[in-house]
Amino acid sequence: MDLAALLNEAQHRAVTHGEGPLLVVAGAGSGKTRVLTYRFAHLVRDRGVDARSILAVTFTNKAAREMGERIRGAIGGTAGTLAIGTFHGFGARFLRREAALAGLDPAFVIYDTDDQERLLRDTIKEIGIPHASWTPGALRSRISALKGQLLTADEAPAEKPQDQVIRRAYAEYERRLRERNACDFDDLLLWPVRLLRDDENVRERWCGRYAHLLIDEYQDTNGAQHELVRGLATPPWNVFAVGDEDQSIYRWRGARIGNILEFEETFPGTAIHRLEQNYRSTGRILAAANAVVQRNRSRRPKTLWTERGDGERIVLACAPTDLGEGRWIAREVQELIRGGMRPGDVALLYRTNAQSRALEEGFRRAGVPYVIVGGLRFYERREVKDLLAYLRVLVNPRDDLSLVRAIGAPPRGIGEKTLERLRGLAAERGVPVALALLLAGELAGVRAATARALVDLGDLLDRLRARLAVEPAAAIARQIIEETGFVEALRAEGGPEAASRIENVQELVSGMQEFAERTNDASLTEYLTEVSLLSDVDAWDDGIGRVSLMTLHNAKGLEFPVCFITGVEEGLLPHPMSMEGDGDLEEERRLFYVGLTRAKDRVFLTRAATRLRFGGRIDTLPSRFLREIPAELIDDAGRSATSSVEWFPRGPAGAGGGGPRDEERAGAPARADAAWESEPILDANGREAELRIGERVRHPVFGDGLVLGTSGHGETLKVTVEFGWAGVRKLFAAFASLQRIG
């Protein structure tokens, strides 16, 4: 392994760094993964470090898997299990070992967002949360934010009146989690950190167990993850962190750029290495990305460079409608494929999952193979969760939430009343709810048939539990499906979805089988943990020869020869919902930056002049970020300006039954250049108040609102504004006397 030949100078210096903390500031496409991989291999091969004493943390399981393969390739296949995974994956392993100290049994289950909200729904009802405005979702995210900062219910702020509500809900939620032998995503980080801080024995077991910590995407770590790194590290602090503040896009879920900006303070004596040579993108793509991100103020100066040629210009395209955007892209992709590109080389990136619908339509029509990464997650689908609920109850009979799910799928005619009695019986006898099923015959006031159904279920679970140790999960699942008539019940539901639900069930069972073969481990707990922590990208099979559609967030860390960034509009990118606080616009800009830097050779920026949103069709304006790209990098002469008709087909044929409304609107906004400029809006006094989508405005009657879009021109120009209590309204700009507010 000749590192000097495999790496550039900066990479080589980072990889061969000696003892002590190191921060690698690695720009997009600068060989970050390469550096991490060779660092690992270098430690093992050249420095004699035991591979088992290195912990590598990546952002996704997929990245972990790929890194593991490359490392094995570099150090020879003899290495055993390598400790490479995500923060949450590591946390789960940690917590299984130390479960008792966290008040859990090692067979605990991990609740996902949906489970958490179900739990909170009951909690809200029972403890009587005063303000009706508290939805389970709102409470969940507040509790999650507190946990991300390592705060318990007692330690949470208690200043404002709403703080009391949150504290009470948090405390009760925690109690219920424990009662069900369950934890949530945040607990997987929080408990390890807490135990490392407070428990001498835990420290003895885990501190220094890893002589080297390799952490990827450090800019997106939250408070708890940062503390976990701190808690695991010991002198001489061999923490090898890689990150890029320009790619921090998870501030909204608690990521602290501060962790990377203050890395040196956390780990005194930190050496910093910078990787600025980009190996991925063409000169023009890189120049555009640099120009955009340089507008951000909260960053350290850095300019990526490349030895690749200029490459093609960035193409701008504006279609008349969102459906038209998809069709235009599909055609363009067909064109690229004719030119020798493969479908798998192309990615469509968007800000919101909802955009995939319209894009998909274009691809379906054109017959171009595509795959959607993310969106409705497989393991979050109802039928999948229903079947998994049986397995979860099997390993953890205290999981009341999953038991309720299992009882209801297929429906057994058992409702709240009976469940309450069952819970009461379980509590009285001091047994887990699932085990109380067998005693259902003793329930007072329950009809014989109902009790029978409960006992039958209890009996099924009982028999399966006995086979758990000797039979693979897939066989157990098949037995459940067969005995409960799971598939028949789905079929009986009918509807267009039934067939796909049944398919999903079958896919789930093959997935279990595949897991057992791949990991050589039939443990149901392991399987359930894995599926709980699977991310969208983990489930994505690249190289499958299809165009990939995904959110900009999911695209982090990936690269494609051709990228289409779609919906480059005000109201979408940047997204108004994310622009409430300071620095939020900068995060949206970084998201755009991440999108641009995914591309190796070609970038297409597309938008729709009108889009279906909020139940109506609204006109859109180009994203402000477009103006930040130097004009000479953009191809506007050939495409957008002169050939809009040809490029943006109109009428029934092109608009596909969009009707006269589509046609009528298609002409104007598609005329390229003008459509990329924002239009002035006149207020009541005839003054030009240039409103932009996403801006906040004040109306004399409706109060403050958010500009969502405009339609019409001149005197008939209307503005769509979302007001608080007054809802979404279309107003004539000339009469509305809207005022911009700070």
Partner DNA sequence: ATTTGGGTTGTTTTT
Partner DNA sequence: CAACCCAAAT
Stretch 55-74: interaction string toward DNA, x if CB under 7 A: -----x--------------
Alpha helices in 376-415 (DSSP H): 382-395, 400-407
By CB under 7 A, tell whether 374 contacts DNA: yes
Q: Contact at 8 Å (CB) between 169 and 129?
A: yes
Q: CA torsion sign, 575 to 579 to 580 to 581?
A: positive
Instruction: Supply the minimum distance, in Å, between the C-beta of residue 380 and DNA.
Output: 9
Which of 174, 184, 186, 217 is labelled catalytic?
217
Residue closer to DNA (CB basis): 535 or 710: 535
Residue closer to DNA (CB basis): 113 or 152: 113
- Listed ranges 339-347, 415-423, 633-641, 731-739: which one lies at the site for DNA (CB under 7 A): 415-423
Annotated active-site residue 277? The verdict is: no
**What is the crossing angle of helices 473-484 and 524-533, to 10°?**
90
Q: How far apart are CA 290 and CA 295, in angstroms?
A: 9
Contacts of 463 (CB under 8 A, 6+ apart): none
Instruction: Supply the minimum distance, in Å, between the C-beta of residue 214 and DNA.
Output: 17
- Listed ranges 81-89, 511-519, 674-682, 729-737: which one lies at the site for DNA (CB under 7 A): 81-89
Q: Contact at 8 Å (CB) between 553 and 249?
A: yes
Annotated active-site residue 677? The verdict is: no
By CB under 7 A, tell whether 238 contacts DNA: no
Q: How far apart are CA 731 and CA 708, in angstroms?
A: 12
- Identify the helix (H) or strand (E) that includes residue 705: strand 703-711
Alpha helices in 180-242 (DSSP H): 187-198, 200-206, 223-232
Residue closer to DNA (CB basis): 306 or 356: 356
Q: What is the DSSP string of 134-165?
A: --HHHHHHHHHHHHHTT--TTTS--SSHHHHH
Instruction: Supply the minimum distance, in Å, between the C-beta of residue 575 and DNA.
Output: 4
Task: Tell me how far the alpha carbon of residue 206 is from its chain's centroid.
Answer: 29
Which of 398, 421, 590, 598 is labelled catalytic?
598
Instruction: Supply the minimum distance, in Å, between the C-beta of residue 88 and DNA.
Output: 4
What are 243's strand-pairing partners?
A: 25
Stretch 109-138: interaction string toward DNA, x if CB under 7 A: ---xx-------------------------
What are 55's strand-pairing partners?
A: 83, 213
Task: Return the residues of window 670-729 that contact DNA according to CB under 7 A.
Answer: 722, 728
Query: Which of 414, 474, 655, 675 touches DNA (CB under 7 A)?
Result: 414
DSSP label at 277?
B
Task: Return the residues of window 418-437 that contact DNA according to CB under 7 A.
Answer: 418
The residue with tokens 């938008």 is 607
Of 539, 533, 561, 534, residue with least CA distance to 373: 539
By CB under 7 A, tell whether 614 contacts DNA: yes
By CB under 7 A, tell whether 412 contacts DNA: yes
Residue closer to DNA (CB basis): 311 or 567: 567
Query: Which of 417, 463, 467, 713 touches DNA (CB under 7 A)?
Result: 417
Annotated active-site residue 217? The verdict is: yes
Of 644, 547, 636, 629, residue with least CA distance to 596: 629
Token code pair at residue 649: 């087909």
- Listed ranges 203-211, 263-271, 458-466, 549-557: which one lies at the site for DNA (CB under 7 A): 549-557
By CB under 7 A, tell whether 252 contacts DNA: yes
Annotated active-site residue 696? The verdict is: no
- Listed ranges 33-41, 99-107, 550-558, 699-707: which one lies at the site for DNA (CB under 7 A): 550-558
Of 157, 144, 150, residue with least CA distance to 195: 150
Instruction: Supply the minimum distance, in Å, between the C-beta of residue 523 and DNA.
Output: 21
Which of 98, 184, 216, 246 is labelled catalytic?
216
Which of 33, 113, 164, 513 is labelled catalytic?
33
Annotated active-site residue 62? The verdict is: no
Q: How far apart are CA 433 and CA 439, in angstroms?
A: 10
**What is the crossing angle of helices 187-198 and 136-148, to 10°?**
30
Residue closer to DNA (CB basis): 47 or 253: 253
Q: Contact at 8 Å (CB) between 668 and 548?
A: no
Token code pair at residue 474: 């897939």
By CB under 7 A, tell whether 554 contacts DNA: yes
Instruction: Supply the minimum distance, in Å, between the C-beta of residue 354 and DNA.
Output: 6
Residue closer to DNA (CB basis): 366 or 612: 612
Pairing assessment for the beta strands 54-57 and 83-85 based on DSSP bridges: parallel
Query: Which of 20, 106, 408, 656 touches DNA (CB under 7 A)?
Result: 408
Q: What is the DSSP string of 556-590?
A: TT--EEEEEE---BTTTSS-GGG-SSTTHHHHHHH
Which of 58, 225, 247, 720 is labelled catalytic?
247
Annotated active-site residue 282? The verdict is: no
By CB under 7 A, tell whether 537 contacts DNA: yes
Give the count of beta carbons closer than 10 Å to the beta carbon of residue 525: 20
Instruction: Supply the minimum distance, in Å, between the C-beta of residue 599 and DNA.
Output: 19
Binding site for DNA (CB under 7 A): 60, 86-88, 112-113, 185, 252-253, 351-354, 374, 377, 408, 411-418, 450, 533, 535-537, 551, 553-554, 575, 577-578, 612-615, 722, 728
Catalytic residues: 32-33, 216-217, 247, 598
